[in-house]
Every structure is written in structure tokens, then in C-alpha cells.
Structure 1
Amino acid sequence: MTVSWEDVAVPKPYPREFRDDVVRVARDRDPGVTVEQIAKDSGFTR
């Protein structure tokens, strides 16, 4: 069986504006709010 690049699912990158907004939220976060929580709430996964 041969696999080509057409067979591989590659996620689309997040739009630049979305990433910029998440970075802004992370930098301006309230005390006690973790970067991990912001990432989870934003839909980023490991």
C-alpha cells in the first residue's frame, strides 16, 4: 500500500488575527489564570 501526501490530514493553521488575540489575552491575563487554561479555552491542544 502506497501513501501519498493527499492521504495525510494536515490541520489548517489558525488565522493570524486569532493567534494575535490569544497572545494578547495571555499577556493581559488576571492573576491566577494560567496560560494552559487560556490555551484550553481557545481550543489549542498539545
Structure 2
Amino acid sequence: MYVFKNPDKVGEWWPKLQLSWYNGRTEAEKARKAYEKLRNARTKVRELQS
């Protein structure tokens, strides 16, 4: 409803929405890589212990 009442404001929030989505995806990818790194390190430690 806000968009229909204030169509001139769409240009203000759309880039912010896109940027926040992109930043969220970037952070998710960094977290996934960190998790994979930890998981691989744990696997290597288990291989060394056996």
C-alpha cells in the first residue's frame, strides 16, 4: 500500500533493498566457506588420530 501512496519513494528504497540482499548473500557465502573449512579441518584431525 505504501508504494501506491508514495510512488516517488520507490526509487529510494529499491537500491537499499537490492544492496541488503546482496550483502546478505555475500555474508552467507562467507559463512558457508568458513564452515566448510572447519569441517575439513575436523576430518583431517580424525584421519591423523586413527
Relative contact order, higher structure (CA 8 A, sep 6+): 1
Length-normalised TM-score, structure 2: 0.32
* Greater C-alpha Rg: 2
